[in-house]
């Protein structure tokens, strides 16, 4: 996971508030897209993506103000990464196409566990349900 974490941190360093706002405008459509993900080997991926999308929405809109910007930048990167069809492993690769998406999402959740668990608690989300499985 250290390589994925470095990859996430490097890419998230380029996420500006303007990029976060652009992603915010796309999130309603992306949330629908994420619900269509069929990845039985990664059963928590959809819930994790929806959680990150909600956190980005609430923070960028100013509803929730306790997430550090670096945390939001990583979440934005994870959402962008999961949205695009090409990645380290293209989504079209049967059974493994979402492995890289799941790894990126998990790296964001693990690196920001304290901040996201606080967000989850404030919103009545069971943190262990979001983070319990890859």
Q: Per residue of the chain (134 residues), what is the pLDDT tens digit? A: 689 999 999 999 999 999 999 999 999 999 999 998 888 888 899 999 999 999 999 999 999 999 999 999 999 999 999 998 655 555 555 556 678 889 999 999 999 999 999 999 999 999 988 985 54
Q: Residue 41: its pLDDT value, please?
A: 86
Helix then strand then coil, % of the chain, to nearest 5: 65, 0, 35
This prediction's pTM: 0.91
CB atoms within 10 A of CB 41: 12
Instruction: Give the pLDDT confidence score for residue 91 in this predicted structure.
Output: 53
Spatial distance between the Cα atoms of 44 and 57, rounded to a whole number of angstroms: 20
Residue 132 exposed, middle or buried by CB count within 10 Å (0-12, 13-18, 19+): exposed
Two tokens at 44? 């928590």
């Amino acid at each position: 996971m250290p390589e994925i974490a470095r990859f996430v941190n490097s890419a998230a360093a380029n996420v500006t508030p303007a990029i976060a706002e652009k992603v915010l405008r796309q999130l309603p459509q992306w949330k629908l897209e994420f619900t269509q993900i069929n990845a039985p080997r990664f059963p928590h991926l959809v819930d994790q993506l929806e959680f990150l999308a909600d956190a980005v929405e609430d923070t960028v809109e100013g509803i929730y103000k306790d997430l550090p910007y670096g945390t939001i930048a990583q979440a934005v990167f994870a959402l962008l990464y999961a949205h695009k069809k090409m990645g380290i492993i293209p989504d079209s690769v049967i059974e493994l196409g979402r492995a890289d998406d799941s790894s990126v999402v998990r790296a964001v959740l693990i690196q920001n566990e304290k901040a996201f668990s606080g967000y989850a608690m404030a919103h009545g989300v069971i943190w262990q349900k979001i983070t319990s499985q890859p």
